[in-house]
A and B are shown apart, each in its own frame.
Chain A
């Protein structure tokens, strides 16, 4: 266990925000879900008791009949804003006095930094480069992330959960978003920061960053593995067939098409899983449904390729003369 290496990574000034993120994200996830569960308990009570639903103010916050529903902004909101500004300023001053912004040697194109890392908030994209070619990881997927985020309000037809925390009423939406935001984005940033070392190789926390480390692993494409299976079975003529790029292209297209069919089917099953979900589904137009399917199948492509790559050493599932996936 190389504690020094771990300390070097965590104490690098530019990594401090990610160390903060490691505490802030779990805290606010807990904080949000705590309120969601509290509301869910209230919803359960109200649904079981229609009389109570008629008279209750329907919030978990305390309320008495004499209280005004609204407060003057001055002073009740402005004093909080002022306090928040003061606290943030103090935090920023203390942080800036105790830690210096990094400054390396002057820029020098002839001396390569190893590892050459993007700023930490883009490390999720850089980590995607392991699993996809740059045109996918650097261009297509980021575009889909941004477009997909913008499309959320137009795809989510669930009328419940507008303006309060809830989990029970929006399970599908919350699972999807948390999986994307925490499971893919934040975790990939953390992997890019703490795990990836020289040569973008995988170093577990506590392992020393060995600049001369070599990995003799062979990543193969899916069609080559299939060809290998055929030749192992003695069907050499079939295996030879896979040497042709056009055969590989068609094979990959079939496999990729199969993936989208299976993933789309699984996602559809989730979309219509419950009685309530089916009602929401009935509200969706064809365009809304197809957009949702495209976004979610592309999102699932990432964890699928992570598993294929890290567990099965598969590089591409679709090889063509122009691009590989």
Chain B
């Protein structure tokens, strides 16, 4: 239509067209530039603000809110003892243990995709996992070594807590929860041992559960067990294995304890454990040292 207008020949020239185009896109260009400039400060974008809700700057208020208003970080207090962030006091063992639990849950769920808890098939699944599943071998290795590492870090965590006297008032009960978590960690590892259904797991679990038949009063070989009517078919070992030998029922029971029951129980205790760390006044130290001559022995029992 415009081509037919003889009064505007200039507009046909290439230079004039380019100028007009440039004029037209200028607002878009400016918007694009400001958007690109915005990418350099993502914390100013509406998206960022909607997710984190807190200003990203170095004021103490924003730093505190950044932790307190974040669901994943809110286990932390806003501020900690300045000497507690040094490695020397806590060795980071409790935190590393929790991190390993997360790693094990992640790798464990992936392993569950490839595993059937039934005799013969279970072993074949491990072979399949090791030889055909992409990164299957790495997955299994990480789950195994992560579990072993977790046991070591749990022991060292307990050792550290003892050495710093952190179980003392007011943290007595949290130590009790910690001991239960230690036992649960070892039970988690033990129930997982049987799952590949190989000779190693089979005999380890056989040796382990054989002790149960010697339980006083509850096992058929234990003191007072036979007198109380215990046989291989009704004692506590039978209840653990779902049978009198380590067989398909034992495999299924180990699987359910390992993948469902103990993780849920342990998670529950972990929630209590972490909650109590905060409620008992945060981590225990490093506190200023006490002196024997300053103790008021007659007033100690007042809390």
What is the CA–CA distance of A43 and B288 in the complex, to the nearest angstrom? 10
Contacts A135-B222, A163-B286 hold; do A150 and B148 have CB atoms under 8 A apart?
A: no
Contacts A137-B211, A169-B292 hold; do A100 and B202 have CB atoms under 8 A apart?
A: no
B211 and A134 contact, CB distance less than 8 A: yes
User: In this assembly, does A217 line the interface, its C-beta being within 8 Å of a C-beta of chain B?
Assistant: no
Stretch with Cβ within 8 A of A (4 or more), from B2-10, B86-94, B256-264, B268-276: B86-94
B79 and A35 contact, CB distance less than 8 A: no
What is the CA–CA distance of A165 and B224 in the complex, to the nearest angstrom? 46
Closest A residue to B175 using CB positions: A153
Q: Mark A103-125, 1 if CB is under 8 A from B, else 0.
A: 11111110111001111111001
Contacts A96-B138, A107-B197, A119-B193 hold; do A61 and B83 have CB atoms under 8 A apart?
A: yes
A118 and B208 contact, CB distance less than 8 A: yes
- A11-70 residues with Cβ-Cβ distance < 8 A to B are 14, 16-17, 20-21, 24-25, 28-29, 31-32, 35-36, 39, 42-43, 46-47, 53, 57-59, 61, 67-70
Q: Mark A137-152, 1 if CB is under 8 A from B, else 0.
A: 1111000001001101
User: In this assembly, does A276 line the interface, its C-beta being within 8 Å of a C-beta of chain B?
Assistant: yes
- B55-103 residues with Cβ-Cβ distance < 8 A to A are 60, 63-64, 66-67, 73, 76-83, 85-89, 91-92, 95-96, 99-100, 103
What is the CA–CA distance of A160 and B165 in the complex, to the nearest angstrom? 8
* A-chain residues with CB within 8 Å of residue B119 when the two chains form the complex: 107
Query: What's the nearest-Cβ distance from chain B to residue A184, in Å?
Result: 13
Contacts A46-B289, A138-B211 hold; do A150 and B179 have CB atoms under 8 A apart?
A: yes
* A-chain residues with CB within 8 Å of residue B200 when the two chains form the complex: 14, 102-104, 113
B216 and A139 contact, CB distance less than 8 A: yes
What is the CA–CA distance of A92 and B139 in the complex, to the nearest angstrom? 11
B159 and A28 contact, CB distance less than 8 A: yes
Cβ contact of A161, chosen from B80, B137, B168, B213, cutoff 8 A: B168
Cβ contact of B206, chosen from A39, A59, A116, A323, cutoff 8 A: A116
Contacts A17-B148, A163-B287 hold; do A133 and B206 have CB atoms under 8 A apart?
A: no
Cβ contact of A163, chosen from B92, B166, B196, B211, cutoff 8 A: B166
* A-chain residues with CB within 8 Å of residue B219 when the two chains form the complex: 135, 139
Closest B residue to A47 using CB positions: B291
* B-chain residues with CB within 8 Å of residue A46 when the two chains form the complex: 289, 291
B199 and A36 contact, CB distance less than 8 A: no
A146 and B183 contact, CB distance less than 8 A: yes
What is the CA–CA distance of A121 and B185 in the complex, to the nearest angstrom? 11
Cβ contact of A138, chosen from B95, B203, B212, cutoff 8 A: B212
Query: What's the nearest-Cβ distance from chain B to residue A139, in Å?
Result: 5
Closest B residue to A39 using CB positions: B289
Query: What's the nearest-Cβ distance from chain A to residue B169, in Å?
Result: 7
User: In this assembly, does A265 line the interface, its C-beta being within 8 Å of a C-beta of chain B?
Assistant: no
B103 and A89 contact, CB distance less than 8 A: yes
Closest A residue to B224 using CB positions: A322
A61 and B286 contact, CB distance less than 8 A: yes
B67 and A118 contact, CB distance less than 8 A: no
User: In this assembly, does B215 line the interface, its C-beta being within 8 Å of a C-beta of chain A?
Assistant: yes
A150 and B176 contact, CB distance less than 8 A: yes
Q: Mark B165-201, 1 if CB is under 8 A from A, else 0.
A: 1111101110110011011001001100100111111
Interface residue total, chain A, C-beta cutoff 8 A: 106
Query: What's the nearest-Cβ distance from chain B to residue A171, in Å?
Result: 12
Query: What's the nearest-Cβ distance from chain B to residue A163, in Å?
Result: 3
What is the CA–CA distance of A297 and B48 in the complex, to the nearest angstrom? 62
Stretch with Cβ within 8 A of A (4 or more), from B13-21, B24-32, B149-157: B149-157
What is the CA–CA distance of A160 and B295 in the complex, to the nearest angstrom? 9
User: In this assembly, does B223 line the interface, its C-beta being within 8 Å of a C-beta of chain A?
Assistant: yes
* B-chain residues with CB within 8 Å of residue A276 when the two chains form the complex: 292
* B-chain residues with CB within 8 Å of residue A116 when the two chains form the complex: 203-204, 206-207
Task: Pull 15 A–B residue pairs with CB atoms less than 8 Å apart, ordered by A.
Answer: A72-B64, A72-B79, A73-B79, A74-B73, A77-B76, A88-B99, A104-B198, A109-B202, A138-B211, A158-B168, A160-B292, A161-B290, A162-B165, A164-B289, A173-B165
- The 3 tightest CB contacts between A and B, nearest first, are A138-B211, A163-B285, A58-B288
15 additional A-B pairs beyond A72-B78, A92-B149, beta carbons within 8 Å, are: A59-B288, A61-B286, A67-B82, A71-B82, A72-B64, A74-B73, A75-B63, A105-B199, A107-B123, A107-B246, A118-B208, A119-B190, A139-B212, A158-B168, A164-B285
Chain B residues at the A interface, C-beta cutoff of 8 Å: 60, 63-64, 66-67, 73, 76-83, 85-89, 91-92, 95-96, 99-100, 103, 119-120, 123, 126-127, 130, 137-138, 140-146, 148-149, 151-152, 155-156, 158-160, 162-169, 171-173, 175-176, 179-180, 182-183, 186, 189-190, 193, 196-204, 206-208, 210-216, 219, 221-224, 245-246, 284-293, 295, 297, 300-301
